[in-house]
Chain A
Amino acid sequence: MDLMENQVWTLAEQWEGKLKPISYELLAWGRNLADKLNAPLVSVVMGNGIPRETLETLVHYGADEVYCVQHPRLSHFTCESYARVLERLIQTRRPTILLGGATTTGRTLLPYLAVKVGTGLTADCTALDIEPGTGNLLQTRPAIGGNIMATIKTPNHRPQMATVRPRSKKPLCPDPTRKGRIETIEAPEEWMDNRVQFLELQALDEDGNSLESADIVVSGGKGLKKAENFSLIRGLAEELGAAIGASREAVERGWISYPHQVGLSGKTISPKLYIAVGISGSIQHLAGIKSSETILAVNSDPGAPIFQVANFGIVGDLFQVIPRIRDRLREYRMRKQQEGTHGCEE
């Protein structure tokens, strides 16, 4: 078999010329699969004005090759032109596996592309492996609100495509001595045809707003006692890169705006981690967080119902606990930065 036909591809994502963390996480998955298949691992990047040093980091993080397609009209994600570029590359180079992030980009681009190239796509995977013997990709994903784990194969179609949930694997530790080939691919103008026009990006309001898409949500309740104290929640959320939520009591007191309310008469969310601070866990509040993967609670009352649903609980005074947690998180981050890694796998 032609070696090229066996390639494992991962799709890097960039924002304003900088690569997003998912690009490196996918390489950690891809490296594992490529090694099992004894196949080359390729990172595919689309964008504009991405410097060569940035592309080289993909090699440091595990890619054998980088295919880079740059064009002013690829600077922002647009489904049609991104899909057309990938479709043409797939047709000529025939990879066996293509992994993308289960992000708003990957979850738009890959299902569109899968139809265009006539293959299957598994959504939101949290584990990937190679089936011994057949060499098929085994794709494992949660479904029905995380109540079941399904393993899915794409036996007869290539490439086998999957979107992979962000943070489901740590990136490999970068090796700056690793060498790889960086290929720049010229995209013809006609690939750039795009009926959708990107106008601009509006940043989220100061408290953020992406409650529904956030992996981590930190929520505050009446236990915070007054408006100024809500800054404890904002601080912890910032440290964790989390979105901010609240109980109705906190919203009704005007400590934070209504779009942040979680529960029956607010938003229903299913983050990977929900942190409830000074929230009792009323039925109405729990209705909004039931399908969270993990729940963590800080409350001074050991009898608070929130502990009935928490995977990890701290019974104590939030005014002591939250600042201490924040300090430890900050130390953790500094330590990792000094080690030169943001948490990576040897």
Chain B
Amino acid sequence: MHIVVPIKQVPDTAKVKLDPETGTMIRSETDAVMNPLDLYAVETAIRLKEQYGGKITVLSMGPSSAHRTLKEALAMGCDEGVLLSDKAFAGADTWATSYALSTAIRESVPYDLIITGERATDGDTGQVGPGIAAWLNIPVATYVARIENFDGTRFTLARLTEEGYERLSVPLPCLLTVVKEIAIPRLPTLKGIKRARASEISIRGKDAFPFRDEYLGLRGSPTRVVKIETPQVSRKGEVLVIKTEEDLEKAAEEFVRFLEERALI
């Protein structure tokens, strides 16, 4: 089985500090890391490889520094890393991102399975996975929480929805997006780190594959971000101290009003 895992490099939100005065991100302290939710996709791929054999290619579109993220995945146990990096890819929305990634997947490798994270912690759309499936015209199952069985041609799996776990039967080739529940990501081993350090990441530009230029990057993107605002994040809010029966009543009423104002009930 050949598995492709698209992974994204994102700012390390654990390290993102907000300026308390302006509410903006203090960039200098942010490091780039693998999208934390992609670790679950990588782990799922490695477990399938361990069980059924095969090979895992990790693929990322991003700046040249993203090769570090790919090496991290190799250290965990993936076999090959491909980085799509070119000015022409910059500014892509999810439509153009999924176009570029799907073209690279189709043109470079015979694949059986594609696994993505549920969403990236920065762009936060969760749209790239289903988008890739549509470009490749393969079946998709999102929010996969469990893989129960694989019979050589079809997966039986469970997807987490608002109503519960939807059990599905999905044939290869297909694309799965996975949620955290699916597995606990492993740490790289020392051997894995050494192997990753010694391996080459192939970096591909826009001429490496038969891309349609007009579908790439900002130019190829149907959506445009026209405004960005930073809402003030003042967390510490009102605190009611209960001393009397009246206080108790007032607190309960305020609580209901608080939920009502925010349309939470």
Query: A residues near B, CB below 8 A?
Result: 15, 76, 79-80, 83, 103-105, 107-116, 118-124, 138, 142-157, 167-170, 195-204, 209-210, 212-213, 215-216, 240, 259, 267-268, 272-273, 291, 294-296, 302, 307-317, 320-321, 324-325, 327-329, 332-333, 343
Listed by A's residue number, 26 A-B pairs whose Cβ atoms lie within 8 Å are A79-B140, A104-B159, A104-B160, A107-B127, A111-B126, A114-B127, A120-B223, A123-B124, A123-B127, A138-B226, A144-B13, A148-B229, A151-B227, A152-B226, A195-B170, A195-B171, A196-B174, A199-B169, A213-B162, A259-B181, A295-B235, A302-B241, A313-B238, A315-B241, A327-B252, A333-B265
In the assembled complex, B198 has its CB within 8 A of some CB on chain A: no
Give chain B's interface residues, CB within 8 Å of chain A.
Answer: 11, 13, 16, 18, 25, 93-95, 98-99, 121-131, 133-135, 139-143, 156, 158-171, 174, 179-181, 221-231, 233, 235-242, 247-249, 251-256, 258-260, 262-265
In the complex, what residues of B have CB within 8 A of residue A112's CB?
A: 130-131, 133-134, 140
Asked if residues B164 and A121 are in contact (CB atoms below 8 Å), the reply is no
User: Which chain A residue has the least Cβ–Cβ distance from B132?
Assistant: A115
CB of B222 within 8 A of CB of A147, answer: no
**B122 touches which one: A143, A302, A317 (CB < 8 A)?**
A143
Contacts A121-B95, A145-B121, A147-B18: A197 and B169 contacting too (C-beta < 8 A)? yes
Residues of A contacting B: mostly: mixed
Residues of A within 8 A of B16 (CB): 144, 147
* Distance from A139 Cβ to chain B, minimum over Cβ atoms (Å): 8
Contact between A201 and B228 (Cβ–Cβ < 8 Å)? no
Q: Nearest residue in A to B11 (C-beta to C-beta)?
A: A144
Taking a contact as CB atoms under 8 Å apart, the answer to whether B235 and A215 are in contact is no
- Name the A residues within 8 Å of B255 (CB-CB): 296, 312, 314, 325, 328
**Given A80-B139, A119-B222, A111 contacting B122 (CB threshold 8 A):** no
Contacts of B141 in A (CB 8 A): 196
Q: Which residues of A contact B253 (CB under 8 A)?
A: 328
Contacts A112-B130, A151-B225, A332-B260 given; indicate if A124 touches B230 (C-beta within 8 A): no
Give A257 to B252 CA distance when docked, in angstroms. 29
Kindly state the separation between the CA atoms of A312 and B256 in the bound complex, as whole angstroms.
12
When chains A and B are docked, how far (Å) is the Cα of A47 from the Cα of B255? 38
From B126, B162, B226, B258, name the one whose CB has the most chain A CB atoms within 10 angstroms.
Answer: B162
Check if A321 sits within 8 Å of B223, measured CB to CB.
no
Cβ-defined contact, B263 with A196, below 8 A: no
User: Hey, which chain A residues are within 8 Å of B180, CB to CB?
Assistant: 212, 267-268
Does the CB pair A202–B95 fall under 8 Å?
A: no
Known: A145-B121, A154-B223. A114 touches B259 (CB 8 A): no
Q: Find the B residue at minimum CB distance from A329.
A: B256
Residue from A15, A107, A116, A145 in contact with B134 in the complex, judged by beta carbons closer than 8 Å: A116
When C-beta atoms are compared, the residue in chain B nearest to A271 turns out to be: B264
Residues of the B chain whose Cβ atoms lie less than 8 Å from the Cβ of A332: 256, 260, 265
Say yes or no: A152 contacts B252, CB within 8 Å. Answer: no
A15 to chain B, nearest CB (A): 6
Is the beta-carbon distance between A104 and B161 smaller than 8 angstroms? yes
Q: Assess the B252–A324 pair: CB atoms within 8 A.
A: yes
B45 nearest CB across to chain A (Å):
20
Q: How far is the CA of A316 from the CA of B131 in the complex (A)?
A: 50
On whether the beta carbons of A144 and B124 are closer than 8 Å, the reply is: yes
Complex alpha-carbon distance, A304 and B3, angstroms: 48
- Cβ of A110: which chain B residues have Cβ within 8 Å of it? 127
Asked if B222 and A156 make an inter-chain contact with CB atoms under 8 angstroms apart, the answer reads yes
* Residues A196 and B223 in contact in the complex (CB < 8 Å), given A104-B162, A212-B180: no
Min CB distance A109 to B, Å, is 8
Q: Which residue of B lies closest to A199 (CB)?
A: B167
Tell me, rounded to whole Å, the shortest Cβ–Cβ distance linking B222 to chain A.
3
Nearest chain B CB to A297 CB, angstrom units: 9
| Nearest CB in chain B to that of A297: its residue | B239
Which residues of the partner chain B approach A103 to less than 8 Å between Cβ atoms? 162
Rounded to whole angstroms, the CA-CA distance of A155 and B180 in the bound complex is 36
CA distance A307 to B129 in the complex (A): 38
Within the assembled complex, what's the spacing in Å between the Cα atoms of A15 and B126? 23
Complex-state Cα separation, A270 to B122, whole angstroms: 14
Most B CB within 10 A of own CB, among A115, A155, A168, A291: A115
